Amino acid sequence: MEFSLNEETKMLQSTAEKFCREKSPSSFVKNMIKDKNGFSEDHWKEIAQLGWLGLIYDEKYGGIGGSFFDLFILFEEVGKTQLPSPFLCSAVFAGLLLNEAGDENLKKAYLPSMIQGKKILTIGLRNEQGQYDHPTPALDAQEIERGSYVVRGTRILVPYAHVADEIIVCANLKGKKAFGPTLLKVAGKASGVKKTLLNTLTGEKTFGVVFEGVKVSAKDIVGKIGQGGAYVDKVLPKVITLKCGEMVGGLSRVLTMTVDYVKQRIQFGRPLGALQVVQHYCADVSTFLDTSRMIAYQAASMIDAGLPCAKEVAMAKAWVSDAYKKSAQIAHQLHGGIGFAEEHDLHLYYKHAKVSELDFGDSWYQRQKVAEAMGL
Amino acid sequence: MRDHQPYGKGEGRMRFTFTEEQNKFRQEVRDFLNAELKAGTFVERSGGLAEGSSQEFSRKISRRGWIGMTWPPKYGGHGRTNIEKAILVEEFFKVQAPVAYHFLCDRQIGPSIIHFGSEWQKEYFLPRFIRADDNIKFCLLFSEPNAGSDLVNVATTATKEGDFYVLRGQKAWTSSAHEADYGWLLARTKFDSSVPRHESCSQFIVDMKAPGVTIRPIINMAGYHSFNEVFLDEVKVDRKFMVGQENEAFKQIMVQMDYERAGMERLVQNYPIYEKLLNHVKEMGKTQRGDPFYNWARDVVAQLEIEFNIGRLLCYYTAWTIDQGRRPTSEAALMKAYCNQYEQRLNDLSTLVFGPASQIREGSPWALYAGEIADCYLWSPSYTLQGGSVEVLKNIVALRRLELPRK
């Protein structure tokens, strides 16, 4: 048991903290919600130059070969300011799928440009109810002639599809010889790919994507036919853990904002924060933060160490989902009317908490995973 | 407020696993306890905090070097880490080993003497604690009828008369006073009303067999005699039994309480119930899979498992904080409040999963686990009160850590 960070990680953390604070003030985050692109190309280039996109990838693809734990720390900082970008979908989710499933040619063709920020990747893994359905995807890839397939079906909540060079999907491949859930890459600009911007709680750019008979070929198959679901399952714990990092970052900002507010807001002739009921609410949020950090750091550190941790990851997502949401709710109660105003920043976190809770399985879903891991 | 970072200086790589040495130590403790269980020295049963008391058992622990583990070797301590201490306490309480004979001395009396005691007190008491000698059982004479959470309101007085202090007053809710050899007492030593109350109290070690000490039992709602009223009628205490500085008791108590709260026992005193619950739900799964009640019970156990795991991390984090040389004030407060509430939920949910028969107490063939679940439910309200109520602990987090204003 050791709870300190090494110098290297602390340096990365402080660089990330400074970058996010300077580049991504809340005014910027709010502008990006209205912006057509939804993120800054300049930021994206800088993030690539900082090496963040390649942090965990092998040096032969232009990566840094760094530690997963450091990437987790980065996401905690990103979550604090809600810096919008395709970081998670491109450099983590899609990138890890290619890294896990792709052959050497495919990796060489895509990972370096992804790491340099020149290509943006995304994933279309959620069905029309928004559920991840990779074990039995409601998206078909029918073989029409040898090595040629037609993709039909709908994916929703596809992040940053408008700028994605490639969308990685898991389709139910129906070949003459081979079949089953299979990863495919589909060019974002391919004909028959219809993208509709979704107006969601956070306003981060995400799309409904309808594949209207999109033609792909055998070279677009990523990994082995029939193994698509397994690849996604392999990569998911990492993505979920980084999402938890982002949530912990958001939660820590909720606490900071709330404590600052109740210290300076005078009512009944004294700061709100001098009222014991308010103090106890703040102590509750502080507890949600500490507990969330502990359980999420544990998952990140075990992944980093290469230890089996399906249960730890599920525990983290279950707890952090609840803790972040409840904290944001308490924060709204303590902020009163001003927190409900659009000009305030608190709602960014209230919304982020809900959307994050709904992604990758909420606490109930994750508890079922915990129970499974316990042999129940 | 700056974003709070929970980590400090250390070896510099966050790691949520134990070292090989620590794992070996845990196994050593387990082997010892298993052998004792097999020999029938004690039975696993949840309930009151370290109720089982046996000097013989404590002596065995002493011989293994497990009392005063973290204390300086100068006084017979073993200079080991608080992480190791937490491992020891976790294993002890998981099986509810009967450690009450030395536990209070080990957890807080010894550390308080190390912090504030005179050289004579250190040399006299510490080796006796470490050896689990005769007459080392302590009780805490803090609370009074009008001084509970508001401890500065103590009315018991200690008046200086030559080389002695004379005690007059009444203490309440004193756990184990009827079995104790010594009481660790808080009393007023300055009677000038212009002096703030928290600067007018001192701490003493009182011989519970001394003339003028009268103990009356208070039977608790679980039906057990665990706490008492203690009356002090002109009790003479030699000045060498005053601990630390005169009128500095509250500064000392604040430190003492941090250590009292920092222990793993706050999480694992009901572990045997948790194990029974887990096994019960596993059994249910064999025949009732898909049944809505089973699904609910499975979800309950998963949630408790998550909460237990988090509590455990908080406990080890607090132990680690002490090993870093920091006082774990807000860490221990936050951890204890969290763990206490977890244990209350556990005991409530156990009655629901086990169903109506869980209300039957010991002595009936229909009682589950000899009434253990019923007992634990009855003990539950005390967890969030003893050693600082959850509300007092939240105050500490709010004022100390979040630096919210008092006024």
Token couple for B170: 């009444």
A256–B1 C-beta distance less than 8 A: yes
Interface test with A, best of B1, B404, B406, B407 (most A CBs within 10 A): B404
- Sequence spans of domains, chain B: 20-136, 139-248, 262-401
Q: How far is A291 from chain B, CA to nearest CA, in Å?
A: 6
Its ipTM equals 0.95
| List of chain B residues whose C-beta atoms are within 8 Å of the C-beta of residue A67 | none
pLDDT digit string (tens) for B268-315? 999 999 999 999 999 999 999 999 999 999 999 999 999 999 999 999
Nearest partner of A245 among A20, A2, A47, judged by Cα: A20
Check whether B8 has a pLDDT greater than 70.
no
Show residues of chain A in contact with B298, CB under 8 Å: 368, 371, 376
> How many angstroms separate the CA atoms of A70 and A54, rounded?
12
Q: What own/partner pairs with CB < 8 Å and gap ≥ 24 does B215-224 have?
A: B215/B174, B215/B177, B215/B178, B217/B178, B218/B172, B218/B173, B220/B382, B221/B378, B221/B381, B222/B47, B222/B48, B222/B375, B222/B378, B222/B379, B223/B378, B224/B48, B224/B51
Query: Which of B2, B15, B84 to mutate to test binding with chain A, by most A CBs within 10 Å of its CB?
Result: B15
Are B344 and B46 in contact, with CB atoms under 8 Å apart? Answer: no
pLDDT the model gives residue B50: 52
Are B348 and B359 contacting, i.e. CB atoms less than 8 angstroms apart?
A: no
Tokens 């003030």 belong to: A25
Q: For the domain with range A122-224, which CATH number is right: 3.40.50.300, 2.40.50.140, 2.40.110.10, 3.30.70.20?
A: 2.40.110.10
pLDDT of residue A325: 98
Whether the per-residue pLDDT at B48 is higher than 60: the answer is no
- Profile chain A (376 residues) by mean pLDDT over runs of 10 residues: 91 96 97 97 97 97 96 98 98 98 96 98 98 98 96 98 98 94 98 98 97 97 98 98 98 98 96 98 98 98 95 98 98 97 97 98 97 96
CATH class of B139-248: mainly beta
pLDDT at B140: 95
Q: How far is B186 from chain A (nearest CA, A)?
A: 27
Residue A92: closest CA among A76, A108, A72, A106: A72
Q: pLDDT tens across B24-40, in order?
A: 999 999 999 999 999 99
Nearest residue of A to residue B336, measured between CA atoms: A287
What CATH architecture does domain B20-136 belong to? Orthogonal Bundle (1.10)
A chain contacts of residue B394, beta-carbon cutoff 8 Å: 279-280, 283-284
Nearest chain B CA: its distance from A34 CA (Å): 29
CATH topology of domain A230-373: Butyryl-CoA Dehydrogenase, subunit A; domain 3 (1.20.140)
Supply the CATH classification number for the domain B262-401.
1.20.140.10
Query: Which pLDDT band holds residue B43 (cuts at 50, 70, 90)?
Result: confident
Q: Which residue of A has its CA nearest to B307?
A: A319
List the one residue out of A225, A264, A249 whose CA is nearest residue A327.
Answer: A249
* A305 CB-near residues (< 8 Å, 6+ apart): B15, B17
Residue ranges of A 255-294 with Cβ closer than 8 A to chain B: 255-256, 259-260, 262-263, 270-271, 273-274, 276, 278-280, 282-284, 286-287, 289-291, 293-294
Higher pLDDT, B13 or A149: A149
Instruction: Report the Cα–Cα distance between both ends of chain B, in Å, rounded.
Output: 18
CATH superfamily of A7-119: Acyl-CoA dehydrogenase/oxidase, N-terminal domain (1.10.540.10)
* Window 273-302 of B, Cβ < 8 Å to A: 278, 281-282, 285, 298-299, 301-302
Residues of B in Cβ contact (< 8 Å) with A3:
6-8, 10, 14, 317, 320
A1 touches chain B (CB under 8 A): yes
Nearest to B16 among A4, A7, A301 (CB): A301
Q: A370–B302: do the CB atoms touch at under 8 Å? A: yes
Q: Pick from A1, A8, A11, A77 the residue to mutate for testing the B interface (most B CBs within 10 Å).
A: A1
Nearest residue to A40 via CA among A18, A23, A57: A23
Domain locations along chain A:
7-119, 122-224, 230-373
Could you tell me if A181 and A135 are in contact, meaning their C-beta atoms sit under 8 angstroms apart? yes
Q: Which of B276, B309, B365, B343 is nearest to B95 (CA)?
A: B276
Chain B (69-128) residues lying within 8 Å, Cβ to Cβ, of chain A: 83
> Is the CB of A280 less than 8 angstroms away from the CB of B394?
yes
Kindly report the nearest CA distance between residue B177 and chain A, in angstroms. Answer: 33
Q: What is the pLDDT of residues B183-235, one digit of tens each?
A: 999 999 999 889 998 999 999 999 999 999 999 999 999 999 988 999 999 99
Residue pair A37/B44 in contact (Cβ under 8 Å)? The answer is: no
CB pair distance less than 8 Å for A302 and B16: yes
**Per-residue model confidence as pLDDT tens digits over B303-356:** 999 999 999 999 999 999 999 999 999 999 999 999 999 999 999 999 999 999
Chain A nearest C-alpha distance from B77 (Å): 23
A87 at B interface, C-beta within 8 A = no
Q: In this complex, do B404 and A263 lie within 8 Å of one another by their Cβ atoms?
A: yes
3-state SS record for chain A: CECCCCHHHHHHHHHHHHHHHHHCCHHHHHHHHHCCCCCCHHHHHHHHHCCCCCCCCCHHHCCCCCCHHHHHHHHHHHHHHCCCCCHHHHHHHHHHHHHHHCCHHHHHHHHHHHHCCCCCEEEECECCCCCECCCCCCEEEEEEECCEEEEEEEEEEEECHHHCCEEEEEEEEECCCCEEEEEEEEECCCCCEEEEECCCCCCCCEEEEEEEEEEEEHHHEECCCCCHHHHHHHHHHHHHHHHHHHHHHHHHHHHHHHHHHHHHCEECCEEHHHCHHHHHHHHHHHHHHHHHHHHHHHHHHHHHCCCCCHHHHHHHHHHHHHHHHHHHHHHHHHHCHHHHCCCCCHHHHHHHHHHHHHCCCCHHHHHHHHHHHCCC
pLDDT of residue A40: 98
- Of all residues in chain A, the one with the smallest CA distance to B15 is A2
CB contact under 8 A, B309 and A295: yes
Residues of chain B with C-beta less than 8 angstroms from the C-beta of A11: none
Residues in B touching A287 (Cβ below 8 Å): 334, 337-338, 397
| Contact between B10 and A376 using a beta-carbon 8 Å cutoff | no
